[in-house]
Amino acid sequence: MHRVQLHYTLSRDAGDARIRNPLPELLQAVAGQGSISGAARSLDLSYRHVWGALKRWEEQLGGALITWNKGQPARLSEFGSKLLWAERQAQARLAPQIAALHADLERAFAVAFDDRAHVLTLYASHDDALAALRAHAAAQADAGALHLDIRFCGSVDAIRALNEGRCTLAGFHTLEQPAADSLSARIYRPLLQPGLHKIIGFAQRTQGLIVAPGNPLALRSLADVARSGARFVNRPLGTGTRVLLDELLAQAGLDAQAIAGYAQSEPSHTAIAQAVAAGAADVGLGIEVAARAHGLDFVALVHERYHLACLKSSLEQDATRALRSLLQTPRWQAQMAALPGYQPWHCGAVLAMKQVLPWWRFAHGKRRAAPGKESA
């Protein structure tokens, strides 16, 4: 039984929320470069260092990691390939928990280093732009910086956390114009109350089919997925993407049982992409940026809006105001627009709930808000 030891780095630029391990990084480099010398160059290490490290790990783990024949490129052994796959899949599946641990540590040190720091707790549906926003906010050098304590979970759980007082903001997503009788309306309407909740604009993003490079099964729609018997990987119950899938299936007149693998789920868009990249699944529904990050193809199906919900009473809190100001900066919006499949959408603006989520019907005689003021 091999044991795992964790450590973390404290610095001004400690990288992303992943738990790093030099062995998988080395194995990935060898697989990509086809030689130990090429791997050493790509990692800016010496050949001797890489060779010695591989030999030490082979001795410790009890198996060969690299195989090669004379005149042939180096490649991972079966054991090395399984080890790399297992580590990448574990990282993808544990990404939300790793991010939460990362946030807990950063929150503690944020307060220790700067007693004027604004700490904002956000429960949210998994989203790469939010992860980028957290890093962007942490990189600002101004005194009293904003530190985002983001906990990724399902959209439904995020709004429930907001209503239970466990967070200040909740991130969830819907189609651009969700119908009043849609599944989204039936799920989210009981959780959000006009006058009590407010919506802050964040992003428009694209969801679609994440498929292998070249789209070998020629999947262009959910009907193609059902017809071909492609192995599908889903998101768990309570996630916004699961809600979206069920809505799209209903629109296409397809039964969930027609999708092979509908009951199989992964906890994040990253994990979906990793499952497809590893050959454990043929297709999944997810965001474009996750597909591109894994070198996969992407078939766009819908545009959706990602919203940030808060209680009306928290709009003028210092941390919320700091977030809204940051969201409205050209620098942040340009960074978001550079993410595949993302565009800023009324970023940082307080929006009329009845326009963004047109599920409620108000009496015609209800007093309109004064010019420049946001209505329910």
* Domain ranges (residues) in the chain: 22-88, 95-203+304-356, 208-303
Question: Which tens digits make up the pLDDT trace of 15-52?
Answer: 554 567 788 888 888 888 888 888 889 889 898 898 89
pLDDT at 305 over 80: yes
- What global pTM score does this model have? 0.75
Q: Are strands 118-124 and 146-152 parallel, antiparallel or unpaired?
A: parallel
Question: Which tens digits make up the pLDDT trace of 154-202?
Answer: 999 999 999 999 999 999 999 988 888 899 999 999 999 988 999 999 9
Q: Do domains 22-88 and 208-303 have the same CATH topology?
A: no
Among the residue ranges 118-122, 293-297, 330-334, the one predicted with the least confidence is 118-122
* 8-state DSSP, 368: P
Q: Does domain 95-203+304-356 have CATH number 3.20.20.140?
A: no
Class of domain 208-303: alpha beta
pLDDT at 142 over 70: no
Measure the CA angle with vertex 274, ends 305 and 127; round to 5°: 25
For the segment(s) 22-88, the CATH number from 3.30.1330.60, 3.40.710.10, 1.10.10.10, 3.40.50.300 is 1.10.10.10
